[in-house]
């Protein structure tokens, strides 16, 4: 039954099929079109076995008193609501929508998170996967006992339906609001696929949520409040009188292409290194007021909680909604450069400032590309002129390997640490505050 429902959800609506039947795809899945039932069955069996297993477990909790209904039915995965009062497993009715409306490339990308107690993460995960597949959304969704964190892309019709369903989910009632969804121009094409899974944390900080909980976070500041705080900080810092630290808790490659003026941006590669960074630099935060920010706000929730757990700061504040929400209200405010995003766009912009440079020639450039060496997955800033010269790797070591190694016998790539990774300290130690005080740069 779960297999049949999954295949049913992949059917192309009649409006999207060729007139008279035949000659057109009857099913679409993973950006592939299928005209024969055997073809879609084979694809689903090979590529979505785990998905089917999860949906089968979810469907088992649904009353079996009546037969299966189409996947587009608004009452549930097979016509009924789940028995649990905490997680509704309903899917929206899309029977009135055409395939083109649901799959249009002109769409948007949604970024959101919700911290709440989830008693059955596996059920929530299965529902999320079914919902995203039903709406033809791609992206990444992390589910844990502490909540949900998602970045999904699709047509505007699909993303609007997704928000509507999420807001009607009893589990998120009075916690998640429409303003908590950050949107930007994009679509399903911004992600290679859909990945939904259950994790220990909805943002990977590497600290057990039971030890450092989001409930112990800092004080939220609206974009307007944060703007005023940054303005005051920059004024005082320029005179060497500030008792405040403006802390960017993102990774180095994010802050490299865009950040708030006068910020302290740790030279870390992963958010899971942030706790160690704090531990190594406790003296830096002693008796300070800390203004924290990140992309959408989620890293600040746990990051501020960890910083507060050290009991060294005077006060810890965080930007509600992150840079995303700040730029909506202050596109020409104190944030300069691009905003890094974790999808195939790599960056979105609100102003024309370029604050980073080409790795090879030093000309202003802020468009990331993946290192051309197949063993490496680092991002590199290399301008068109340098790329035309063949300078497409992140460092000389990778550039040399890229020339020598074009393929491997196994056909698989191997991830290695390259020169620029090895030279970067895992946890940098801040000896001075000069980077914070150079507000004019």
Mean pLDDT (whole number) for 387-397: 89
Ordered structural domains, the chain, with CATH: 1-12+25-55 (no CATH), 100-198 (3.30.70.100), 214-349 (3.40.250.10), 368-405+416-423 (no CATH)
The mean predicted confidence, pLDDT, of the chain is: 84
Which of these, 392, 391, 399, 345, lies nearest to 367 by C-alpha position? Answer: 345
The per-residue pLDDT for 264 is 96
The per-residue pLDDT for 309 is 96
The per-residue pLDDT for range 365-383, each reduced to its tens digit, is 999 999 988 778 789 999 9
DSSP-based three-state secondary structure for 313:
coil
Reported as a pLDDT band with limits 50, 70 and 90, residue 402 is: low
Cα–Cα distance for residue pair 115/1, rounded to 1 Å: 33
Catalytic (active site) residue 132: no
Reported as a pLDDT band with limits 50, 70 and 90, residue 224 is: very high
The per-residue pLDDT for 436 is 47
On whether the CB atoms of residues 245 and 436 are closer than 8 A, the answer is yes
The per-residue pLDDT for 80 is 34
| Residue 187, pLDDT above cutoff 80 | yes
The residue written with tokens 């785990």 in the block is: 50
Which of 89, 294, 398, 420 is an active site residue? 294
The per-residue pLDDT for range 119-146, each reduced to its tens digit, is 999 999 999 999 999 999 999 999 999 9
The per-residue pLDDT for 431 is 63
Query: DSSP assignment of 15-62, as one string?
Result: GGSPTTSSSS-SEEETTEEE-SHHHHHHHHHHH-HHHHHHHHHHHTTS
State the DSSP H helix or E strand holding residue 340, giving kind and residue range, or none if neither. strand 339-340
- Of residues 256 and 64, more confidently modeled: 256
Cα–Cα distance for residue pair 225/206, rounded to 1 Å: 30
């Amino acid at each position: 039954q779960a297999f049949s429902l999954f295949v049913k959800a992949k059917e192309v609506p009649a409006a999207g099929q060729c007139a008279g039947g035949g000659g057109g795809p009857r099913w679409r899945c993973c950006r592939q079109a299928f005209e024969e039932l055997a073809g879609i069955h084979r694809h689903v069996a090979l590529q979505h076995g785990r998905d089917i297993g999860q949906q089968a477990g979810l469907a088992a909790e649904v009353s079996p008193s009546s037969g299966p209904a189409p996947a587009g039915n608004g009452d549930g995965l097979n016509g009924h609501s789940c028995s649990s009062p905490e997680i509704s497993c309903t899917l929206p009715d899309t029977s009135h929508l055409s395939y083109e409306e649901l799959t249009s490339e002109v769409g948007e990308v949604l970024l959101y998170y919700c911290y709440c107690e989830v008693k059955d993460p596996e059920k929530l995960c299965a529902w999320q996967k079914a919902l995203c597949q039903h709406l033809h959304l791609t992206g990444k969704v992390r589910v844990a006992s502490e909540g949900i964190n998602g970045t999904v892309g699709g047509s505007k019709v699909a993303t609007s339906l997704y928000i509507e369903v999420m807001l009607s989910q009893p589990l998120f009632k009075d916690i998640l609001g429409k303003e908590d969804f950050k949107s930007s121009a994009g679509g399903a094409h911004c992600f290679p696929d859909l990945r939904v899974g259950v994790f220990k944390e909805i943002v990977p900080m590497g600290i057990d949520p039971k030890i450092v909980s989001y409930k112990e976070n800092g004080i939220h500041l609206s974009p307007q409040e944060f703007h005023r705080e940054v303005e005051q900080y920059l004024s005082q810092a320029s005179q060497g009188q500030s008792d405040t630290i403006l802390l960017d808790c993102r990774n180095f490659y994010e802050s490299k292409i865009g950040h708030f003026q006068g910020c302290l941006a740790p030279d870390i590669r992963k958010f899971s290194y942030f706790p160690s960074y704090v531990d190594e630099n406790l003296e830096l935060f002693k008796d300070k007021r800390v203004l924290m920010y990140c992309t959408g706000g989620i890293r600040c929730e746990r990051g501020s909680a960890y910083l507060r757990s050290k009991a060294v700061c005077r006060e810890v504040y965080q930007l509600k909604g992150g840079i995303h929400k700040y730029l909506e209200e202050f596109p020409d405010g104190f944030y300069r450069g691009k905003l890094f995003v974790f999808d195939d766009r790599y960056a979105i912009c609100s102003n024309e400032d370029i604050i980073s440079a080409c790795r090879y020639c030093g000309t202003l450039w802020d468009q990331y590309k993946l290192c051309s060496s197949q063993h490496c997955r680092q991002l590199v800033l290399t301008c068109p002129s340098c790329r035309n010269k063949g300078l497409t790797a992140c460092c000389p070591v990778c550039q040399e390997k890229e020339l020598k190694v074009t393929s491997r016998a196994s056909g698989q790539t191997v991830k290695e640490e390259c020169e620029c990774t090895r030279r970067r300290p895992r946890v940098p130690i801040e000896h001075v505050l000069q980077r914070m005080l150079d507000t004019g740069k």
